Amino acid sequence: MMSSLKRSLTLSDAIMIGLGSMLGVGIFVAVAPATAHAGSGIYIALGLAALVAFCNATSSGQLAAQYPVAGGTYAYGRAQLGQAWGLTAGWAFLLGKTASAAAMAMTFAHYALPGAPPLVLSFTAALALIALTTVNILGVSKTATVTKVIVVIVLAGLALFVATSWLSTPAEVTSPSAAYLPSAPLGILQGAGIMFFAFAGYARVATLGEEVTNPSRTIPRAIMWALGLTLIVYVFITFTLTHMLDQETLATSTAPIFDAVQVPWMKLVVQVVAALACLGALLGLMAGLGRTCLAMARDSRNFTFLPT
């Protein structure tokens, strides 16, 4: 069996990786479709999404503390449900997250080079994947360092957006349909489902369980801290968007933060921040993919069909 990975990730490292994984493209788009369903109940929807994420995150933290090894879903499935289900969970994770990585890379390309030809976008996405793969190959410490830089810039950019927005004049409500109206319970639940997508990524820390110092204590705390900080960011962004845009505009927007910007130079800042946020989420995603591949490759029982 291969030797264990070096435990070098501290609590702050783990929190930053969790934040980087959650502050991806969702924060730039999720509020709009959620508002279309939830209306004035968008804050209830956000609270419900956070509650479900908290329950799931608590479960992930407990599993990671009990099984502090690389692999996340694969490791837990194998330990709790057996080899077959663990392998199924592992392959499902790899296939799903590989598709997610490709989509996130293309999203980064669209934000980095809006309006560029498809071939240029594909080439840019491929370069991003190669660059972040290189970072991961250099070690988890490099991954944590790059993630910290990205998260700090993204948070600073979002804070600047909030500040400039509240110093600007919000849009006027021009018709009754544009006002924030109550929504039916089903609409709020639908909005909560969309907002839950925005919290995806908190379990990324768990897949790096073998590289976290004092994992039984650090991982659950890191997941909760990352989730809590992300919720605070979403509350500020949602509050700002509902202040700057009427319901009709926000509900139909494909880029609500861009549409809410009132200061011309701020649009470029938002574009850069959105591209970096995609890179941060992609970096955490690829780190999780690599550790899951490692965990599955370690177990020879997964490859008994190969000649020896």
Q: How far apart are the first and last CA of the chain?
A: 16
Residue 238 lies in a domain: yes
List the CATH number of the domain containing 211: 1.20.1740.10
**pLDDT per residue over 95-104, tens digit each?**
998 998 999 9
Residue 229 lies in a domain: yes
Residue of 131, 58, 72, 59 whose CA lies nearest to 101? 131
Residue 178 lies in a domain: no
Residue 175 lies in a domain: no
Q: Give CA angle at 197 (167, 242), nearest 5°.
A: 25
Residue 179 lies in a domain: no
| Average pLDDT, rounded, for the chain | 86
- 81 confidence band (pLDDT: 50, 70, 90): confident
Say what the pLDDT of residue 79 is: 86
Record the pTM: 0.86
- Alpha-helical (H) ranges within the chain are 11-22, 26-29, 31-38, 42-66, 73-81, 83-112, 118-137, 140-166, 185-198, 204-207, 215-244, 247-252, 256-260, 264-298
DSSP 308: -
Total domains present in the chain: 1
Residue 302 lies in a domain: no
Range of the domain at 47: 11-167+185-296
Residue 108 lies in a domain: yes
Phi, psi torsion values for 164, nearest 5 degrees: -70, -30
Residue 255 lies in a domain: yes
- 1 confidence band (pLDDT: 50, 70, 90): very low
